[in-house]
A and B are shown apart, each in its own frame.
Chain A
Amino acid sequence: MKLKKNLVAATMLAGSMTALSFLSAGAAQAQGALVMYCGVQEEWCRAMVTAFERETGVKVSMTRKSAGEVFAQVKAEAANPRADIWWGGTGDPHMQAAEEGLTVEYTSPKMNELQDWAVRQWEQSKKRTVGIYSGALGFGYNTELAASNKTGDLKCWADLLKPELKGEVQVADPNSSGTAYTLLASIVQIMGEDKGFEYMKALHKNINQYTKSGAAPAKAMAQGETTAGIAFMHDIVTMVVDKAPIKVVAPCEGTGYEIGSMSIIKGAKNLESAQKFYDWALTANAQKLGAEAKSYQVPSNKSTPIPPQAPKLSDVKLINFDFAKYGSSEERKRLLSKWDNEVKNLPK
């Protein structure tokens, strides 16, 4: 009885001590610190942090979140920003943040080492965000299931309309996923708006599920839950590397792509470190880390070696994606609500 009492008291004491130490958390951000929101996969984020810390001695506090989550957080924190730099994640929310003035302009000395598409996006965003990698949209299919469904080879967007694939194609919901929005915008740009929507309606008959997350169809293919799935090619490649029986397809009609981006948060407390990181992240040395962390996007620095597993952009027929138009919130809202009304609610 006595013992129990003492135990309780000790626990409470320990608890309140920890609580006190909690309140003062964050004091560790000493000079030369950097707070980073990272929008790619954990390994890659960690690799970047470790490498940067080793090279510059700046202490990095990294939090990994999806691109949409980072945007929501940056927006909510606008009055008193916590983060300095936002690295990685699909370009749309970066563009949106630039449009809403949540990020600041910066011209890095490394700009001349970058691919054209990266520079173009930087210009379109009024110097507020810069491309660090890109990935083409495509689709894949589970070869075992495709054989049992007798779908034959799939090469083009049009092949996904085959009646053999009824209920066998998976793609994300563009309302929730940037990947699927890229699909919508790409199809509209490839085929024109009217024809594009005709295509989406026809595709709708073959769709078994609009997933929430953009990469989910890749996983579903690997697990054999769906025959075909539309996603960024590098997400599908990750599954292939993991020995899933999947074939990756770069559609013959051409395809759109995303630009993974980087922005400096407006009101950053460690602006200097943020700029240091910005410059460093654009170097070939830093961009090499992606492939090492099993992320097979195409880096934006011209001299970065392209990972052998990555879908070669030269093999992919890339369209001239208009990020300014299709990244603007107005156009996006219009397309999304049109898709909602004309496609999503159609009977199968």
Chain B
Amino acid sequence: MSRATLGWIVLGWVGFALLPWYGFDRTAVPTITDYIVGGSALVHGLRGAWWLLPVLLPLLISLRPAALPTRSDNSTWLIASGLLGLGLIVLQGFTIGLNGWTLDILKALSGSNGPSQAGMGYGAALTATAFLIILCHGLAARGWCRGDAFVTSSIGIVVALIIVFVFFPVSTILASAFADNNGDFAPVEFVTKFMDKSIWGLDCLTSDLRCGVAWNTLFLGLLVAFGTTALGLAFALIATRTAFKYKKLLRVMSVLPIITPPFVIGLALILIFGRSGALSSVLWEWFGVPRSRWIYGLPGVFIAQLLAFTPIAFLVLIGVVQGISPTLEEASQTLRAKSWTTFLTVTLPLMRPGLANAFLLGFVESLADFGNPLVLGGNFEVLSTKIFFAVVGAQQDQGRAAVLSIILLAFTLGAFWLQHAWLGKKVYTTVTGKGDAGIPLPLPRRVAMASYFTAIPWALFTVAVYVIILVGAFVRSMGRDYTPTVEHFLTAFRVENTDHGFFFSGSAWDSFFATVKVAALAAPLTAAIGLLTAYLLTRQRFSGQRSFEFGTLLSFAIPGTVVGVSYILAFNVPPIEITGTGFVLVMCFVFRNMPVGVRSGIATLSQIDKSLDEASLTLGARSATTMRRVVLPLLRPAIVASLVYSFVRAMTAVSAVIFLVTAEYNMATTYIVGRVEAGEFGLAIAYSTVLIVVMLVAILAIQLAVGERRLGRRSASTSASPVAAPAIP
């Protein structure tokens, strides 16, 4: 038995006998004895909370292998202890709630309301984790996952987290799809809601009536997925394979939209293309093109989503394009393939995992996007806005929201399945343990031209959008009154120098600090869990892998509003009572944004030869060390992608957090939405500008901290002086 196992057994005891088992009553101020021993499960148990005492049994069981570490049946004891412990904790947590028994049967049986208990605290969390890891160590001792306790524990923890923070809340809300407004089971109502004409109608094909919202969503999603993948590829190719002068600038610019708070791109588009927008005015006054409202509807949403999601495709694809082995391209060329043919038959197919992942992300993002359709949708309705207003709109119909969510989920599932079918079982390894002496192929002219022609106008357009945003922050009222002013910044970010030091009196400071704090916590967690999951999915084989993978996508696919409501339903009552804390915001962000880490991690990992990990293992490095020293350095592009993405998303997400923010943890975006609602575009844009700057700084810091991946490859530019070793044996 390893020292790690022993350590977890000790921690299990610490959680049970020392730390406070329950979360603190939020209206009281805890004393020091509440923290140590006084609030522990042991003390509670002896003082009458009898249901906590059975947990002692698995804790005692775990002592057997600790006392006799050389016995061969230790794995059995560990597994028994872990399973029993987890089972008991879950059982008592869910049967005894804040108001007594949670099941009516128990109330009827005992004839009373039963005992009550608060939500779990540090102690319960620690003990439950300890049981989980003891279980996983036991399984590893049985030879699961090649006997690797790190791998089994990682799987155990990720699975447990996904169950708690994805399946549990999501299932609570999806269950309401089958319930009527009183909460009773009503499958017929589900069918009626599901088959509704406003969802599936196809009238737009035959008449000028509108089509169902499901078709709109699907159509938009496919358009955006194709568009973002193509643009992302163009940017990635230019950034990695050409000698384009302003590459760096292009890269920064392509990333700008991702760090823009929602609504702002939409607002900027209106200010350019709207009926009184800048461009429309020019066209009308100079060329007599009549002003129109074309931007409201599919075109507007499409453009805004392209702007917003291309960076994600770019971030996924750049790692993949960099990773393609030049030798393979050289091989193709020596087989007399022209560079265009090589690109088409070798380079492009090798990018398949990246393309498929970029496509999937674009599609799912478009489906879940809420801000842009809200501002620019016009009469073009999509599922995400429908769901939002089914929850908060005049109908107040949560069941309908759940039904629509199920449809949205089905689309995501379909995309996920298609992606798998397309990638198939082919091998896309291009980073192998053999040194690769090839030189990356310069892009074929056709491809280079196509890339330039798509990427550069797009980049210019992006610049235009951001000029508008920047101007908007410094004038009184964009579109009406162009008097320069810094009044918006003063309102939001005034700092007064008082006698007691600086006083942040601006109205935005609170939400600003809370947002930065939450984002800074969520980003590393998201990246860590995401990449760990990607590693498990690509490098380990275990049963249920496919459903595990799908589980990681689930919370991403469900619209934020639904996730927000489901988090309240799930986490507002014991056993896990965490609403109102910053913790729930962090967890919400982690599990909403984790899929990006998973996707980009999978895309990059599937290019890295598995024998590199194995070589490290046989050299005595455990999986954890292997991850740190071999896998992570090769994963740098994916790390940057997921860190940046999760930080940025935590700063810019709206819909999920609207229900989770509290007075202490108000988020920047809800503040901005409030400004937009109040028509104070200037203030909203000014705040957004500040956020953009913060995010830019953060991205630069992340780039700097993580660094570039060294593949020891020669680049086209250094090829003039070949450094190949003389072939002395």
Contact = CB atoms under 8 A, between A and B. Distances in A.
A169 B581 CA distance: 44
B27 A269 contact: yes
Contacts of A151: none
A225 B276 contact: yes
B425 to A, nearest CB: 38
B523 to A, nearest CB: 10
B200 interface: no
A124 interface: no
B393 A77 contact: no
A181 B664 contact: no
Contacts of A175: 389, 393-395
B208 interface: yes
B679 A213 contact: no
Interface in A1-42: 4, 7, 12, 15, 18-19, 22-31, 33, 35, 41-42
Interface stretch (A66-74, A106-114, A258-266, A274-282): A66-74
B349 interface: no
A208 B275 CA distance: 12
A181 B658 contact: no
Interface residues of A, number: 78
Contact of A19 (B207, B572, B583): B583
A218 interface: yes
B521 A30 contact: no
Contact of B572 (A46, A82, A222, A226): A82
A15 B524 contact: yes
Contacts of B24: 24, 27
| Interface magnitude class on chain B | 35 or more
A34 to B, nearest CB: 10
Interface stretch (B250-258, B411-419, B450-458, B670-678): B670-678
Nearest to A144: B276
A214 B704 CA distance: 46
The interface centre, meaning the residue of A4, A29, A215 with most chain B CB atoms within 10 A of its CB, is A29
A218 B664 CA distance: 32
A238 B192 CA distance: 42
Contacts of B208: 347-348
A63 B674 contact: no
B27 A243 contact: no
A332 B678 contact: no
Contacts of A210: 379
Contacts of B389: 68, 173, 175-176, 212
A223 B274 contact: yes
Contacts of B98: 79-80
B507 A46 contact: yes
A26 B583 CA distance: 11
Interface stretch (B8-16, B232-240, B319-327, B475-483): B475-483
Interface string B386-404: 0011011111101000000
Interface string A204-228: 0000111011010011001111100
Contact of B392 (A42, A69, A215): A69
B573 interface: yes
Interface string A333-348: 1001000100001011
Contacts of A92: 394
Contacts of B577: 80
Contacts of A29: 26-27
A238 B679 contact: yes
B276 A345 contact: no
Interface string B184-212: 00000000000000100001000111100
Contacts of B582: 22, 25
Interface in B208-236: 208-210
Contact of A62 (B26, B270, B663): B663
B183 to A, nearest CB: 11
B678 A42 contact: yes
Nearest to B203: A345
B558 to A, nearest CB: 15
A23 B581 contact: yes
Interface in A65-123: 65-66, 68-69, 71-73, 75-77, 79-80, 82, 92-93, 96
Contacts of B396: 68, 71-72, 75, 93, 96, 329
A64 interface: yes
A interface, over-half SS: mixed
A63 B662 contact: yes
Interface in B586-610: 586
A251 to B, nearest CB: 21
B520 interface: yes
Interface string A30-59: 110101000001100010000000000000
A26 B580 contact: yes
A154 B207 CA distance: 34
Contacts of B579: 77, 82
A242 interface: yes
A178 B581 contact: no
B268 to A, nearest CB: 13
Interface in B361-400: 374, 377-379, 385, 388-389, 391-396, 398
B517 interface: yes
A226 B675 CA distance: 21
A26 to B, nearest CB: 4
Nearest to A16: B521
A174 interface: yes
A96 B705 CA distance: 53
A304 interface: no
A252 interface: no
A318 interface: no
The interface centre, meaning the residue of A35, A176, A332, A336 with most chain B CB atoms within 10 A of its CB, is A176
B122 interface: yes
Nearest to A60: B663
B320 to A, nearest CB: 27
Interface in B544-573: 565, 568-569, 572-573
B275 A61 contact: no
B131 interface: no
B581 A22 contact: yes
A239 interface: yes
Interface in B47-64: none
A219 B679 contact: yes
A65 B670 CA distance: 8
B21 interface: no
13 contacts: A23-B23, A24-B30, A31-B27, A42-B675, A61-B662, A72-B565, A75-B396, A76-B659, A176-B394, A218-B679, A242-B679, A333-B395, A347-B209
Closest 10 CB pairs of A and B: A68-B392, A61-B663, A224-B276, A176-B389, A22-B582, A176-B393, A76-B568, A26-B26, A347-B208, A25-B581
Given A27-B30, A41-B677, 12 more contacts: A22-B586, A42-B678, A69-B392, A76-B572, A80-B572, A176-B389, A180-B394, A209-B378, A210-B379, A238-B679, A239-B679, A347-B209
Interface of B: 23-24, 26-30, 98, 122, 181, 198, 203, 207-210, 270, 274-276, 293, 296, 374, 377-379, 385, 388-389, 391-396, 398, 477, 479-481, 507, 517, 520-521, 524, 565, 568-569, 572-573, 577-583, 586, 658-659, 661-666, 670-671, 674-675, 677-679, 705
Interface of A: 4, 7, 12, 15, 18-19, 22-31, 33, 35, 41-42, 46, 60-66, 68-69, 71-73, 75-77, 79-80, 82, 92-93, 96, 167, 173-178, 180-181, 208-210, 212-213, 215, 218-219, 222-226, 238-239, 242-244, 269, 329, 332-333, 336, 340, 345, 347-348
